[in-house]
Structure 1
Amino acid sequence: MNSITGTTVHLLWFAPNGTDNDDDSLLIGIYETNGAAQAAIQRLINKPGFVDFPEGFQIHPRVLGQDYWEEGFIRD
């Protein structure tokens, strides 16, 4: 069995207000390369909604098998 742990993937998010606010953010897709994520942006940038916020696309590289939230959390 091949392990993919340690592989970098590229999460493509769309946040129309330019923030990481979960209420407004959309996970568009997860791609093997930055280039594939950039190509997805080019396919979507002129679509309804996206066209109004072209700066809203964000690519976040992440390594598989790595924790990214380790602090815990507090509920209000």
Structure 2
Amino acid sequence: MEDGEPLFWDDSEDSFTFLGLYSSQQRAEQRIEQARTLPGFRDHPNGFHVHEYTVGQTHWAEGFLVGEQTDG
């Protein structure tokens, strides 16, 4: 993994908090360990996810949908 994006996901509120971009899996995991000691995050110690992205590449090129979409 060249770059990672650790996220905190709270299923009860269907939201997430972006912790940062890191140059390696190891650095992302170190940040997660730090965050697990903080208020709010410590209540959800297993709520962290790391997503891998390639730097210098376009993501979400076609936009995104919010809520239900209807044709017409």
Match of 1:16 in 2: 10
- Taking structure 1 as the reference length, the TM-score comes to 0.70
Query: How many residues are matched?
Result: 67
Distance 2:27 2:58 in 1: 24
Map residues 1-76 of structure 1 onto 2, 5 A cutoff.
8-17=2-11, 21=14, 24-73=15-64, 76=69
Runs of 4+ in 1 over 3 A off after TM superposition: 70-76
RMSD of aligned alpha carbons? 2.6
Larger strand proportion of the pair: 1
- Taking structure 2 as the reference length, the TM-score comes to 0.73
Distance 1:39 1:54 in 2: 14
CA pair 73-48 structure 1, distance change in 2 beyond 3 A:
closer
Distance 1:62 1:72 in 2: 17
Structure 2 stretches of 5 or more lacking a match? none
CA pair 52-64 structure 1, distance change in 2 beyond 3 A:
same
Of all paired residues, the percent bearing the same amino acid is 29
CA pair 74-17 structure 1, distance change in 2 beyond 3 A:
closer
- Higher RCO (CA 8 Å, separation ≥ 6 residues): 1
CA pair 43-73 structure 1, distance change in 2 beyond 3 A:
closer
Give 2:11's aligned amino acid.
N
